[in-house]
Chain A
């Protein structure tokens, strides 16, 4: 499978702490994307990092990409209860015409 694999499957933290989620994949990629899904809703795109980039920031989000290890991480700083959601990585594999989604990390932020 070309799917990304997120780690951990579930994460529970206190409000104000940082949350780190990891994604590993198997093939060469054009880009890697992170999405968020609130319970019972569709996915929302958060950030895209290209294969030639190593780090990217967007507000409280920081994404890193290590193509030699075929891995990425998503860091959410100063978490809030509203960050409670599932987070998915998706890879744009070279030569593919669709994204491959992982199974997600369920993040719970306790107020």
Chain B
């Protein structure tokens, strides 16, 4: 089974801090994704990556950056944390086969609180 591991289940940080959320997958998937999930808004894509050192902006990239130096690891960075970034953050990975998006495998999420 694919395992997607997020470094923290719960995280509390202060406004203005630089925050790193780490995600590792063990199935050699090309694609990796970062979402945030807020009540009533569903999942919103922040960034995704389809290869090492490659990244694409999603729907809400402002205030975030990402890093993918190795295929198995995809990091989300909050450059200067703000209270409106308090949310549940979900990482996912998937294969890309024949021009279609295959099922995504999710980590258990990081519930981030910015005080």
CB pair B42 A102 closer than 8 Å: yes
**Other-chain residue from A3, A40, A44 in contact with B42 (beta carbon distance below 8 A):** A3
Using a Cβ–Cβ cut-off of 8 Å, how many residues does chain B contribute to the interface with A? 28
Size bracket of the A interface: 20 to 34
**Other-chain residue from A40, A42, A92, A102 in contact with B100 (beta carbon distance below 8 A):** A92
Q: Which residues of chain B (73-115) have a CB below 8 Å from chain A? A: 90, 92, 96, 99-109, 111
CB pair A98 B109 closer than 8 Å: no
Whether, in the assembled complex, A12 has its beta carbon less than 8 Å from a beta carbon of chain B, the answer is no
- Proximity string of chain B (27-61) to chain A, C-beta cutoff 8 Å, 1 when within and 0 when not: 00001010100001111010010100000101000
Write the nearest CB–CB distance from A44 to chain B, whole angstroms.
7
CB pair B42 A92 closer than 8 Å: no
CB pair A40 B109 closer than 8 Å: yes
Write the nearest CB–CB distance from A46 to chain B, whole angstroms.
9
A42, B9: Cα distance in complex, Å = 11
- Proximity string of chain A (43-59) to chain B, C-beta cutoff 8 Å, 1 when within and 0 when not: 11100100000000000
Closest to A47 in B: B103
**Other-chain residue from A3, A40, A96, A104 in contact with B101 (beta carbon distance below 8 A):** A96
A98, B104: Cα distance in complex, Å = 10
Interface pairs A-B: 6 shortest CB-CB: A42-B106, A103-B42, A45-B103, A30-B100, A101-B43, A92-B101
25 contacts between A and B (CB under 8 A): A30-B99, A33-B103, A40-B109, A41-B108, A41-B109, A42-B92, A42-B106, A43-B104, A43-B106, A44-B106, A45-B103, A45-B104, A48-B102, A48-B103, A88-B42, A92-B100, A96-B101, A97-B48, A97-B56, A97-B101, A98-B31, A98-B33, A98-B45, A98-B56, A102-B42
Could you list which residues of chain A lie within 8 angstroms of chain B, going by C-beta atoms?
Answer: 3, 30-31, 33, 40-45, 48, 88, 90, 92, 96-99, 101-104
Other than the given A40-B111, A103-B42, 14 more pairs (CB < 8 A) read A31-B101, A33-B103, A42-B108, A42-B109, A45-B104, A48-B102, A48-B103, A92-B101, A96-B101, A97-B50, A98-B31, A98-B101, A99-B104, A103-B41
